[in-house]
């Protein structure tokens, strides 16, 4: 049974656009490459044909996975979310108590993760450790290098 993932409207549009691109652009391109390679003769020694078939297998796997994600995705109405505690789609300002550095992250589903844009997965160690915390709470989070402590400074919505 697949897990339900929660997305913003923008995140869901990106997922659907990627699926559309894979099904309607990449799939036909690979089919054409297979056809062209097949026309070149003996398939047993045709590296182009085998490479295209391998690419097709990987693409179909990716499409199937993405269809599963889309079918189990739910859009969250962010205006209805509680800002008293950290949830998915919360914008969180935290302070690392060891070095006093402050960070602002938006907690998102795995496929929306983009650290450069400040989008942190709710399934990452830090994301999991922050869920449910309130302003003023100290989150002690087990990371590969040990335990990190973060103070929650602010919680808001987009």
Q: Are residues 83 and 152 in the same domain?
A: yes
Q: Where are the beta strands (DSSP E) in 18-101?
A: 73-75, 91-96
* Helix 47-71 / helix 9-21 crossing angle, nearest 10 deg: 150
Structural tokens at position 101: 């550095």
Q: Which residue has the tokens 């400040």?
A: 118
The CATH number for 150's domain is 3.10.50.30
Domain that holds residue 123: 78-156
In this structure, are 121 and 55 located in the same domain? no
Q: Which of 60, 75, 90 is the last residue of a domain?
A: 75
Residues 83 and 52 in one domain: no
- Same domain? For 47 and 98 the reply is no
Nearest to 117 by CA among 108, 125, 126: 108
Are 131 and 94 in the same domain? yes
Whole-angstrom Cα distance, residue 74 to residue 7? Answer: 6
Same domain, 69 and 93: no
Q: What are phi and psi of 135, to 5 degrees?
A: -60, 130
The confidence score (pLDDT) of residue 2 equals 57
Structural domain ending residue among the three candidates 51, 75, 99: 75
* Residues 56, 30: Cα–Cα separation, whole Å: 6
Same domain, 71 and 88: no
pLDDT, tens only, 70-129: 888 878 766 666 678 888 888 999 999 999 999 999 998 887 888 899 999 988 999 999
pTM of the model: 0.61
pLDDT digit string, tens, across residues 10-59: 778 888 999 999 999 999 999 998 888 888 777 777 788 888 889 999 99
Q: Are residues 84 and 151 in the same domain?
A: yes
**Same-domain check for residues 85 and 149:** yes
Last residue in a domain, options 28, 58, 75: 75
Q: How many domains does the chain have?
A: 2
- Give residue for tokens 């889309």: 70
């Amino acid at each position: 049974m697949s897990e339900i993932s929660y997305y913003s409207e923008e995140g869901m549009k990106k997922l659907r656009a990627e699926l559309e691109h894979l099904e309607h652009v990449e799939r036909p391109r690979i089919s054409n490459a297979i056809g062209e390679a097949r026309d070149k003769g003996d398939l047993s020694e045709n590296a182009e044909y085998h490479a295209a078939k391998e690419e097709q297998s990987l693409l179909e796997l990716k499409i199937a996975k993405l269809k599963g994600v889309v079918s189990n995705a739910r859009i969250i109405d962010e205006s209805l979310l509680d800002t008293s505690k950290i949830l998915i789609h919360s914008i969180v300002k935290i302070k690392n108590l060891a070095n006093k550095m402050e960070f602002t992250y938006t907690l998102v589903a795995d496929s929306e993760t983009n650290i450069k844009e400040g989008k942190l997965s709710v399934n990452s160690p830090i994301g999991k450790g922050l869920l449910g915390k309130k302003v003023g709470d100290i989150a002690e989070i087990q990371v590969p290098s040990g335990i990190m402590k973060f103070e929650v400074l602010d919680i808001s919505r987009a």
